[in-house]
Every structure is written in structure tokens, then in C-alpha cells.
Amino acid sequence: MAHESIKVALLGAGTVGSQTARLLVEQADEFERRIGARLELTGIAVLDPDQVNDPWIDKSLLTTDTLELTTRADVVVELIGGIEPARTFVLSALNHGASVVTANKALLAQHGPELYEAAERNGVDIYFEAAVGGAIPIVRPLRESMVGDKINRIMGIVNGTTNYILDEMTTRGLAFDTVLKEAQAKGFAEADPTADIGGFDAAAKAAIMSVLAFHRDVRMDDVHVEGIENITESDIEAARAMNRVIKLLAVVSENEQGISAGVYPIMLPADHQLAKVSGSFNAVFVEGEASDDLMFYGRGAGGAPTASAVTGDIVTVARHRVAGSTGPSIPLYSNAPIVDASQAHSSYMVRFNVPDNVGVLARITEIFAQHGVSIRAAQQHEQEDAQGNHELWITTHSVSDHVIRETIDDVAAEKTAGAVISIMRVFEE
């Protein structure tokens, strides 16, 4: 069956939506040759048409009736974000026989399995490369290229704002608040940066990657989340002294205990590939059983880079429609347990501020032993503060999160043992 055109409806004309429209207009001839049919923009849904002034957007295509637009397209591109009304619009498109392309990580992290099932039921596609890692191709490799392998773990820097902040703190020695203000001024951070610095943006991406890697219904609420808002200059210096770098990672893994998913700051060896990812760049490190280690690196945000991933999905689903086919489904067959965050294991580095008194170190190590926490190394620094206290660093072997925190609480309760400065995970191979 010949296709003269593929009707595309665009929901949203913000930063990414505008750049997607530009690519569809400027690359129309090239895309037609790749697809075998012309991509025809049939409508662009926006809240206020008067606010749209991009030269490549035909104003006659603008509409505020988003729901109606989803009923008259072959491909619906959802770029408005959020849960509702985006979920309603995506379901309407799927149920009216349109394939969907979306960059909406929050929606997929909360309702992904429902949408994947709706796409399969209606015999259409749902593609979402731009939802994780911006321009980085990571969704398609997990969904298609690696289906012949068993993925054991994924570790990713998937939020450019937090990586920029930590990188500036590390390379320039700046305080967190100072760098955050700079990031906001440069457009790397939102006016309300909570989703980024609190780790919630990365957590949504962790949930999506878990579904693709482990074929299990993993939602945002299943992801343990810690942000970077409490990282200090002294934490950065402590990491440097250990030849390590602090990064905010999304980490998902599967082992005999089950599936775990978390977002948290962690001290990486300075020579680890992820430790070298600078600025607002993203990178995802995948450990496959047969493929071994793979890393995907590139621009994790920005209008044009993200739009490149969106248009890549548009071309793909348009090709499928011309061929009368769809891409692979997303099977969710696993019933592996989801490991509670408190049971997840890691090595930790705990920094104490301790008085220079006989028996302090012995008492702290005694409390660690009472909780069954094995100490890898202990180091007391000679430099004193104004009260004559020293910093004591204790690095542990692998221990569950709830055990190390109970241990630290008991040390803190010992008034003569000093104070806890910080606790942070330490990456060990």
C-alpha cells in the first residue's frame, strides 16, 4: 500500500517541541527519502498560539484543542511533559490508532506499562528515546540491541544539572549554592531545581531503564532517591584525597536477591569512565553478561540534541507505518522481587569529627563490630579544628544501608565519640 504522507501531530512547542518542528521542516526531503513517504505536520497543540513566533512554524497549524488533534494523526508527538493531561492525550492517540513518540520521563516512570500495553493492544508503536539521556541512544539499545544478552547492572549520569554542579564544585572548588546560581543563570538549572538536585528527574529515568533491562514493572515509587543538596566542599575534598570523584548516579541492577533501583551520590575512582564525564554531559554505563561493559555518552539535554532523538523516533515509527508493521513490544514477564532500599548493599565512607582522646577510635570500631560492619580502612587526620578535634575517615566493606545507618546512629549517641560529618557510598568493583 502506497503512502503519500504520514500525518504528524505535535503536542507542545516549547524548547524541544520547537526544535522538533524545525527539523521536520528543514529535513523534510531527507526524511521522505528515508521513510518512503512524506511527513506532514497536521497540527501543533499549544496553550497560547500568540506566544509562538518561530519562523519555521506555520501558525495556521496551531491549535488549543489538543485532544481533538490526537484523533486525526498517524503519529502523535507528546512534548508537553507532566502526568496529566499528557497521559490522557497519549492514551487517546494510541486508542485512535496513532503511534506515539514522547520524551515524557515522568509519565513513563509512573504509567509506562499501561501505555506499552495500550500500544500493543492497538497495534501501534510507542517510542521514547529522548526520555532518557537526551540525544544519547540508550533506550533503543536496551529495548532492541541487547535483547540477546542478560543485563546485570546499569549506572548512569542522567541529569546534566547535577553533573554540572558537581563538576564545577570539583574542578573550581566552588560551594554548592554558588554553582547552583551559576547553573540557573546559564539555563542549566530550572528556577525551581528540586527535581534535578533532589534526584527525582534521574529516578524517573532509572525506573524506565529498569523496565527495559529487567522486563519488570518498576515504577518511580520503587526507586530509592537521594539528591546532592547536602554535598559540601569538604565532601569534595575528601573524595579528592581518596583519588575519587563524587557523581550522582542512577543505578539499577538485578541479582539473586532481586531488582534494585536507586539514585544517589557515590564516590567513583578517578579513573572510572563515568568519573571523567564533565559539565552537563550524560553517560550511561551498561554491564552485560555476554557483551561486558558498554558506555553511551553525549548531550543529555538541550533543545536541538533532544529533538534529534525525537525526530529519530518519528522517522522510525513512520517507517513502520509505511511497512505495515510495528517495532518490538516491551514484554513485562519478570516477577523478580524489588529489593527494598534499606536492604541494598554498598561500601561506605563515613567521616567523623572526633576529640583527640584515648579510646575514641577503639569505641567507634567496637560499635561497628557490634553491628557486624567490617572496616576496610580507618584514617585519622592530623590537622585540628579550633576545638582540637580531628577528622576520622572509616571506609567499610559492603554492608546494607539500614545496618550502616543504625551503626552511625549508635556512634552519634556516644557523646564522647564525636560527631558524624557525612556518610557516602563508595563504588567498588
- Is the same domain home to 309 and 404? no
Question: Is residue 115 situated within a structural domain?
Answer: yes
Question: Is residue 83 situated within a structural domain?
Answer: yes
Q: Quick one: average pLDDT of 299-322?
A: 93
Cα–Cα distances in angstroms (integers) from residue 137 to residues 237, 255, 284, 310, in the given order = 34, 25, 10, 11
Return d(Cα 317, Cα 311) in angstroms, integer.
10
Question: Is residue 99 situated within a structural domain?
Answer: yes
- Is the same domain home to 230 and 155? yes
- Is 108 annotated to bind ligand? no
Return d(Cα 94, Cα 71) in angstroms, integer.
9
- Is the same domain home to 293 and 311? no
In which element (H, E) is residue 126 found? strand 126-127
Question: Is residue 334 situated within a structural domain?
Answer: no
- Is the same domain home to 259 and 319? no
59 is catalytic: no
- Is the same domain home to 198 and 64? no
- We report the CATH number of the domain holding residue 106 as 3.40.50.720
- Is the same domain home to 359 and 308? no
End-to-end CA distance of the chain: 54
Range of the domain at 194: 139-299
Q: Quick one: average pLDDT of 338-358?
A: 88
pLDDT attached to residue 206? 97
pLDDT in tens, 17-59: 999 999 999 999 999 999 999 999 999 999 999 999 999 999 9
Return d(Cα 173, Cα 167) in angstroms, integer.
9
Question: Is residue 328 situated within a structural domain?
Answer: no
Return d(Cα 379, Cα 387) in angstroms, integer.
19
pLDDT in tens, 371-386: 999 999 988 876 676 6
- Kind of pairing between the strands at 244-255 and 151-157: antiparallel
Which residues are within 8 A (CB) of 177 and not within 5 positions of it... i.e. 6 or more apart? none
- Is 190 annotated to bind ligand? yes
- Is the same domain home to 291 and 146? yes
**155 compared with 343, residue with greater pLDDT:** 155
The answer to whether the bond into 305 is cis (omega within 30° of 0) is no
- Is the same domain home to 295 and 308? no
Question: Is residue 204 situated within a structural domain?
Answer: yes
pLDDT in tens, 69-126: 999 999 999 999 999 999 999 999 999 999 999 999 999 999 999 999 999 999 999 9
pLDDT attached to residue 1? 46
- Is the same domain home to 30 and 112? yes
- Is the same domain home to 170 and 291? yes
- Is 14 annotated to bind ligand? yes
Domain count, the chain: 3
Identify the active-site residue in 7, 205, 247, 276.
Answer: 205
Which residues are within 8 A (CB) of 308 and not within 5 positions of it... i.e. 6 or more apart? 23, 135
- pLDDT category at 3 given cuts 50, 70, 90 is low
Question: Is residue 333 situated within a structural domain?
Answer: no
- We report the CATH number of the domain holding residue 394 as 3.30.70.260
- Is the same domain home to 149 and 293? yes
- Is the same domain home to 190 and 165? yes
Question: Is residue 272 situated within a structural domain?
Answer: yes
- Is 10 annotated to bind ligand? no
Of the residues 323, 358, 389, the one at which a domain ends: 323
